[in-house]
Structure 1
């Protein structure tokens, strides 16, 4: 009796996150990558956090532009809520085979809150269970180069002192997700050179066997009743 071969399962999309210090060129590189992947036939969408189009995003925008003040804990939870508002859409896109390229994510939220003296575990807790990126590209830029780029200092956290502290926090966060997910890019280089390196890294991620399985949950070891 003849058997019918099972149809091959559809690979999901890759979740790619850009992190980095302010003025490292993240937004430019996110758009260039989205355009490059779509041009190659890889269905791709861009995303960014905070998402200022959402209800929580409007409050965050007022805070970042220094038009309003909020308690440090309140603003941290607001940033996390902003990510959860968009999480289900990200998961749906990934499961439908769409690659999502995101400008900032939970790592930024934790890094900027932790340097204020808030508990590291408290900062991480609201984001436990979010979709975990398949690749985090951390764009490292030197203070000298960042300050030469237009717009530096316009928002609340854009000072050399704050950026130095945030960089150390990002290093710790990279260790928490592992070098198989977190990779650093020298963003002091020219825009084209940085883009080429990013594309190489992303091509590796798109070929990963991980895309044959479900999207992992961020810091899933902390889910349930386990102690953090």
Structure 2
């Protein structure tokens, strides 16, 4: 068994599991003794004639683990026999930061089980995965069988645990691993990820060469810096260009133009690597702000709010109540990143935003497609925007004409920034 898996075993019976079954999060725990407790709801709807398995990615190297987790799904979809259902599973220690491990949950009929167990055995022998199988006993009690490297398949000698119901945690377990995995709070943390993956992603070194020096502290700009945030098609481009012309300001964008050659590459990477790339883009933009802000006011089209809000909303599935509460450290501004004078969040009615997107006739990013098709995702993004502090966003309704929105924002700038 992989060393990472072995390190988990001393606390294995304390862990909680979450299976995403048809979009419904279902939790269960395990225990070593049989207390005649009913099986968790997730298993009561399963059929005794079917077979169930889970694979948890337990790599000590989080870069390689993130890559393997993404590649594992493709391998399973390619190699599993037809009729096998695949969904996600994760395991965590309640309220313990960085304890989340992710994987996949499989359901199959008995006929396909020999082929599946051969595949899982090969994975367990050579890759950083922890494999479990699940079965129902005569007393309708479900058990989890923890495979060991010595096992070619789940057998009676494998470590056995009894499945029990578990309380739903206060917040989605993915929040346990958000800090410096989905959202980065320092230059050094994001830099470290790209540095460590440069041997497997050559483009990472090109990105690192674009980064500003961290040797000396930057002066605070003499002129105000105003960030305009919002979903696509809320009018950011029109407003930022109008503010540039009206105020005689410099217009910057995040991620910066210098990273454009590598965006397509990093958009295909797992969240850990992709989010580190975009986090570092904010530090490049901050360097540009420090230079241009000595000469003119600076308008920035998106900044750290966007990077964090989309990452949080993607990592945390389900309704708004799954988000960390207001005031959580997840929403804090990075201590080493420049803080703008004012952040304006543009909002429009969802139907109006869709109409504007259709009018553009442009292709959408994966996240934009998710915004259009998943109302809960859009609501999570908007709420994450609102909860980020240091500075917080000032919300402006961008539904009126562009001229009226410009005048409203100019009033805010004059009141806050004295321009």
Same-fold status (TM-score > 0.5): yes
Q: Which residue number corresponds to residue 261 of structure 2?
A: 58
CA displacement, residues 61-86 of structure 1 (integer Å, 9 cap, x when unaligned): 455xxxx5111111111001111123
- Taking a change above 3 Å as real, the CA distance of residues 190 and 117 of structure 1, as seen in their structure-2 partners, is same
Q: Using a 3 Å threshold, how does the CA distance of structure 1 residues 167 and 125 change in structure 2: closer, same or farther?
A: closer
- Tell me the residue number matched to 2:227: 17
Residue in structure 2 matched with residue 33 of structure 1 by the alignment: 243
Match of 1:199 among 394, 400, 410: 410
CA contact (8 A) 2:225 2:297 kept: yes
Relative to 1, partners in 2 of residues 1:191 and 1:105: Cα closer, same or farther, differing over 3 Å? same
Q: Which residue of structure 2 aligns with residue 221 of structure 1?
A: none
Post-superposition offset of 1:203? 1.5
Instruction: Report the Cα distance in structure 2 between the residues aligned to 1:14 and 1:184, rounded to whole angstroms.
Output: 19
Aligned to 1:48: 253
The match for 2:381 is 166
Q: Structure 2 residue aligned with 1:76, among 275, 281, 303?
A: 275
| Greater alpha carbon shift after TM alignment, 157-166 vs 100-109 | 157-166
Greater RCO (CA < 8 Å, at least 6 residues apart)? 1
Partners of 1:80 and 1:126 within 8 A in 2: no
1:144 equivalent in structure 2: 351
Q: Tell me the CA shift for residue 126 of structure 1.
A: 9.2
1:177 alignment partner, one of 382, 390, 393? 390
Give, in whole Å, the separation in 2 of the partners of 1:85 and 1:133.
14
Contact 1:14 1:205 in 2 (8 A): no
> How many correspondences in the alignment?
182
Counterpart Cα distance in 2 of 1:126 and 1:168: 16
Q: Point out the structure with the larger helix share.
A: 1
Matching residue of 2:342? 135
- Residue 201 and residue 157 in structure 1: after superposition, are their counterparts in 2 closer, same or farther (change >3 A)? same
1:117 to 315, 319, 325: 315
**Unpaired stretches in structure 2, ≥5 consecutive residues:** 1-220, 317-322
Structure 1 unaligned segments of length 5 or more: list them. 1-10, 39-43, 209-228
Structure having the higher Rg: 2
What displacement does 1:207 show?
1.4
Alpha-carbon displacement from aligned partner over 1:83-122 (angstroms, at most 9, x marks no partner): 112322211222x242110000000000111112269789
Contact 2:339/2:390 (8 A) holds in 1: no
TM-score between both structures, scaled by the size of structure 1: 0.71
- SS of residue paired to 2:315: coil
Query: Residues 148-195 of structure 1: CA distance to partner in whole angstroms, max 9, x if unpaired?
Result: 00237622211332322211111111xx235xx531110111111111
Q: What is the CA–CA distance in structure 2 between the aligned matches of 1:128 and 1:74, rounded to whole Å? A: 21
Q: 1: CA distance between counterparts of 2:394 and 2:329?
A: 25
Distance between the aligned counterparts of 2:331 and 2:276, measured in 1? 10
Tell me, yes or no, if the aligned pair for 1:111 and 1:170 is still in contact at 8 Å: yes
Task: Identify the residue that residue 73 of structure 2 maps to in structure 1.
Answer: none
For 1:122 and 1:92, how far apart are their aligned partners in 2? 30
